[in-house]
Amino acid sequence: MTHDYYVYILTNQQYTVLYTGVTNDLERRLAEHRLGMASGFTDRYSVTRLAYYEPTNDVNAAIAREHQIKGWRRAKKVTLIESLNPNWRDLAADWSPTYPGPSASSG
């Protein structure tokens, strides 16, 4: 099943900054972050590592979840990340340079 929307959390190399976003194309959005095309917060703080993502088919649920996570304290976000990614691995590290992540995998 293909998912239409993703809520995601990015971090920097030092894991000191967390950014939560929502997109209908995770591969494209991550490429934009990594290529510096997403100006602003993520570009300024070099937030390019995919620490967490969750798919959904409902745009309203994705937006609501993004707002929910953004309202959390850092500790709760860390707990969420570590529940599925305890080693803080860059979940997109194995994607090809064009970043065909979730659509090419079971994730």
Contact between 99 and 90 under an 8 Å Cβ cutoff? The reply is no
What is the rounded average pLDDT of the residues 9-21? Answer: 94
What is the rounded average pLDDT of the residues 37-43? Answer: 75
Task: For residues 69 and 103, give the distance between their C-alpha atoms in angstroms, rounded to a whole number.
Answer: 24
In this structure, the chain runs to a length of 107
Contact between 106 and 44 under an 8 Å Cβ cutoff? The reply is no
Task: For residues 50 and 30, give the distance between their C-alpha atoms in angstroms, rounded to a whole number.
Answer: 8
pLDDT tens digits for 52-104? 999 999 999 999 999 999 999 999 999 999 999 999 999 998 875 555 455 54
Which alpha helices (H) appear in the chain, and where do they start and end? Answer: 26-34, 41-44, 59-70, 74-84
Mean pLDDT, all residues of the chain: 87
**What residues does each domain of the chain span?**
5-100
When pLDDT is cut at 50, 70 and 90, the band that residue 2 belongs to is: low
Token pair in block for residue 74: 């850092």
Pick the CATH number of 5-100 from 3.10.129.10, 3.30.70.260, 3.40.1440.10, 3.40.50.620: 3.40.1440.10
> Can you give the pLDDT at residue 105?
43
Contact between 62 and 29 under an 8 Å Cβ cutoff? The reply is no
> Can you give the pLDDT at residue 98?
55
Contact between 66 and 72 under an 8 Å Cβ cutoff? The reply is no
What is the rounded average pLDDT of the residues 7-19? Answer: 95
Side chain identity, residue 38:
A
> Can you give the pLDDT at residue 102?
55
Contact between 96 and 87 under an 8 Å Cβ cutoff? The reply is no
